[in-house]
A and B are shown apart, each in its own frame.
Chain A
Amino acid sequence: MSDVLLSVKNLEVTFKNGKENFTAVRKVNFDVHEGESFALVGESGSGKTTIGRTIIRINPATKGEIFFAGQKISGIIDRELDTYVIRNIQMIFQDPMASLNERATIDYIVSEGLYNFGLFKDENERREKVFKALNDVGLLEEHAERYPHEFSGGQRQRICIARVLAMEPKFIIADEPISALDVSIRAQVLNLLHDLKNKRGLSYLFIAHDLTVVRYFADRIGVIHQGELKELATAEELFARPLHPYTRSLLSAVPMPDPDVEKHKSLLIYDPSVHEYAQEGPSWREVFPGHFVLANSKEEVEYRAAFTTNSPSRR
């Protein structure tokens, strides 16, 4: 396996609201390798976006550490490292209608990061970089002079991606990049992200709730629920052998575009009280090679048995 690019260790994020504390993320561990797309899947409020925001240092980590390219980037870091982090970790947001400055030209939007960090020698080089970024996402040079309102949703998301690419990052956090887009445009944006990964060796943290998209796009998937990672495996493995009851309920809830399957399926609802954690609490266990799940020793035995005695027949 290639080198670890990003490593999240025992991450905990707590929000303080007056006297009340709310822990949005607890004991989260995962690595993202170079050239990998790692997906975090979960419902709203599960903490997946908070993890993304903590990595790019918008939210501080309460406990735990984050390493990027071998350096610790959580907590207090010096200015040089901060600049390095901003340049190399970039984020694409969900709603392209809300994440572009309506009063700025595309040229300015794409080069704002370049201005902030003085990443060009002269005007020519800056324009070259902007044009290159626009070309990479399938937009034309003439689009640079236009304003965001002149573009469709799919094109706007491309502009967001161009803005990120102009910084030449190593790592992109894509927070629900296609959920605000139309079906026919989703494919365009997914293909684009895929292409860029292959051409530039980018790595992604892909945050999503749509498992059908994640299955297609991600190499490995982490399932998150109420701030805790419940299960982590490669995409194929997770769909073939979903172990944790929450993962199963999530899989059963995804509507598949196949009427005969949909009309005969039964919905599994996750009930956290199925876990008997009074005597033995859960820990992060590797049940199959590379397939981790949050379970206690009794559950580990059950999970393993469920998929070794009879063949994986679900779905």
Chain B
Amino acid sequence: MEQNNGILKVRDLVVKFRVRRRELTAIRSVSLDLYEGETLAIVGESGSGKTVLTKTFTGMLDTNGRIAGGTIEFEGRNLVEVKTDKEWEKIRGVKIATVFQDPMTSLNPLKRIGIQITEVIEKHQKLPPDEAKRIALSLMDKVGIKDVDKRFYDYPFQYSGGMRQRIVIAIALACKPRILICDEPTTALDVTIQAQILDLIRSLQKDYGFTTIYITHDLGVVANVADRVAVMYSGQIVEYGSVREIFYDPRHPYTWALISSLPTLARKGEPLYAIPGTPPTLFNEIKGDAFAPRNRYALGIDFEEEPPFFKVSESHYAKTWLLDPRAPFADPPQAVKIMRKKGNIYAESAAEAGK
């Protein structure tokens, strides 16, 4: 890959939660590199740990959670060692900001929109009120709010869902963060509004030059926004690679299953592929590959020993025994073959166009 300048480096991260006097391992040794200026999408079903993982970057784990091992390297320091709120305040919202799923709950319903933006600027950048207001107005304009002088004094209920999410983005950008974490930012919005918000984040990324992490379960959104994709299952990353590698040449059976269950590739009248069973409980130690019981490609060793990451290309790695040279040939599902063909067609037509 051309970008070698890592901005955030996660190594062997383990996160545990105490729930009803038992301990649950939500993140089971995750390593991840985030490159400056890229958009990384983290996909997985609910409970796979994608939100928990990114919460550790801003010190926002719930009080019953703790980091039990590993390091998170950011700007020359280990974020795992940051403990006090006072220290976190210099990072959270300033260097690493988050946009959450539901714009209805992330704004204070009793405060005017403008105040909610200016208070962030005043607090973090120590600017006088009139200067903060000027910046807030220009931010509102930037995120596509019309008639800003009037809308500055409106309350959240006077904004539609899409407009509120724009305000949340404006607040997140107020301190010019280096990393913007978007946790399902468009799940609560309509498709047409969703498309506009995704476009907005993309164009802001160009202007401000921040690095983006998207958390989503919608593979359509991933295809739209991501440069790279990490697939999570049961608290681990099981496959990562460039967006084209993950969609057109996936190697992990879980990624295969995700792609197979998409209705876009299914033929009408034929049943959709449904992943059988449920994810394993994270209270117990997981032996072997966590996906094995639901995996029709599982090998004997999958139930015994956890697979390591196998290299597919410089940028593409998958954690499955199927890539071991000793493994038998696994014929991927039809949907994956269709995607592979699609990828080739585009690659060829792009090469044609280049000539």
Are the C-beta atoms of A183 and B263 separated by less than 8 Å?
Answer: no
B266 within 8 A of A: yes
Are the C-beta atoms of A184 and B258 separated by less than 8 Å?
Answer: yes
Interface majority SS (helix, strand, loop, mixed), chain B: helix
Specify which chain B residues have a CB less than 8 angstroms from the CB of A153 in the assembled complex: 46
B275 within 8 A of A: yes
Are the C-beta atoms of A184 and B261 separated by less than 8 Å?
Answer: yes
A256 within 8 A of B: yes
Min distance, Cβ B207 to any Cβ of chain A, angstroms: 19
**Are A182 and B223 also in contact (CB < 8 A) when A254-B191, A258-B339 are?**
no
Complex: how many Å from CA A262 to CA B202?
Answer: 13
Are the C-beta atoms of A212 and B220 separated by less than 8 Å?
Answer: yes
A142 within 8 A of B: no
Complex: how many Å from CA A258 to CA B243?
Answer: 9
Kindly identify, within residues 172 to 196 of chain A, every residue whose CB is under 8 Å from any CB belonging to chain B.
182-188, 190-191, 194-195
**Are A262 and B223 also in contact (CB < 8 A) when A184-B257, A187-B261 are?**
yes
Min distance, Cβ A96 to any Cβ of chain B, angstroms: 13
Are the C-beta atoms of B274 and A259 separated by less than 8 Å?
Answer: no
Are the C-beta atoms of A260 and B261 separated by less than 8 Å?
Answer: no
Contact of A215 among B217, B263, B343 (CB under 8 A): B263
A257 within 8 A of B: yes
Binds A, one of B193-201, B303-311, B323-331: B193-201
Q: Mark A183-220, 1 if CB is under 8 A from B, else 0.
A: 11111101100110000000000000111110111000
Are the C-beta atoms of A257 and B220 separated by less than 8 Å?
Answer: yes
Are the C-beta atoms of B191 and A184 separated by less than 8 Å?
Answer: no
Specify which chain B residues have a CB less than 8 angstroms from the CB of A256 in the assembled complex: 220, 223, 264
Specify which chain A residues have a CB less than 8 angstroms from the CB of B272 in the assembled complex: 187, 190-191, 216
Q: How large is the interface on B (under 10, 10 to 19, 20 to 34, 35 or more residues)?
A: 35 or more
Specify which chain B residues have a CB less than 8 angstroms from the CB of A184 in the assembled complex: 45, 257-258, 261, 274-275
Are the C-beta atoms of B223 and A253 separated by less than 8 Å?
Answer: no
**Are A267 and B268 also in contact (CB < 8 A) when A255-B224, A260-B343 are?**
no
Specify which chain A residues have a CB less than 8 angstroms from the CB of B275 in the assembled complex: 184, 187
Q: Mark B243-276, 1 if CB is under 8 A from A, else 0.
A: 1100110000000011101111010100111110
Q: How large is the interface on A (under 10, 10 to 19, 20 to 34, 35 or more residues)?
A: 35 or more
Are the C-beta atoms of B261 and A212 separated by less than 8 Å?
Answer: no
Are the C-beta atoms of A257 and B257 separated by less than 8 Å?
Answer: no
Specify which chain A residues have a CB less than 8 angstroms from the CB of B218 in the assembled complex: 183, 255
Are the C-beta atoms of B257 and A258 separated by less than 8 Å?
Answer: no
Complex: how many Å from CA A183 to CA B257?
Answer: 10
Specify which chain A residues have a CB less than 8 angstroms from the CB of B222 in the assembled complex: 257
Min distance, Cβ A213 to any Cβ of chain B, angstroms: 5
Specify which chain A residues have a CB less than 8 angstroms from the CB of B12 in the assembled complex: none
Complex: how many Å from CA A256 to CA B225?
Answer: 11
Are the C-beta atoms of B263 and A258 separated by less than 8 Å?
Answer: no
Kindly identify, within residues 213 to 254 of chain B, every residue whose CB is under 8 Å from any CB belonging to chain A.
217-224, 226, 243-244, 247-248
Specify which chain B residues have a CB less than 8 angstroms from the CB of A262 in the assembled complex: 220, 223-224
Complex: how many Å from CA A172 to CA B244?
Answer: 40
B23 within 8 A of A: no
Are the C-beta atoms of A254 and B196 separated by less than 8 Å?
Answer: no
Specify which chain B residues have a CB less than 8 angstroms from the CB of A211 in the assembled complex: 191
Specify which chain B residues have a CB less than 8 angstroms from the CB of A215 in the assembled complex: 263-264
Are the C-beta atoms of A235 and B263 separated by less than 8 Å?
Answer: no
**Are A191 and B263 also in contact (CB < 8 A) when A211-B191, A255-B194 are?**
no
Complex: how many Å from CA A211 to CA B220?
Answer: 12
Q: Mark A135-153, 1 if CB is under 8 A from B, else 0.
A: 0000000000000000011
A270 within 8 A of B: yes
B5 within 8 A of A: no
Complex: how many Å from CA A213 to CA B272?
Answer: 11
Binding site for B on A (CB under 8 A): 43-44, 152-153, 182-188, 190-191, 194-195, 209-213, 215-217, 235, 249-250, 252-263, 267, 269-270
CB<8 Å pairs between A and B, sample of 23? A182-B46, A187-B263, A191-B274, A210-B191, A211-B191, A212-B263, A216-B268, A216-B272, A250-B191, A253-B192, A253-B195, A254-B191, A254-B220, A255-B218, A255-B223, A257-B220, A257-B264, A258-B247, A258-B339, A259-B247, A260-B342, A261-B223, A270-B192
Q: Which 3 A-B pairs have the closest CB atoms?
A: A255-B220, A216-B263, A257-B219
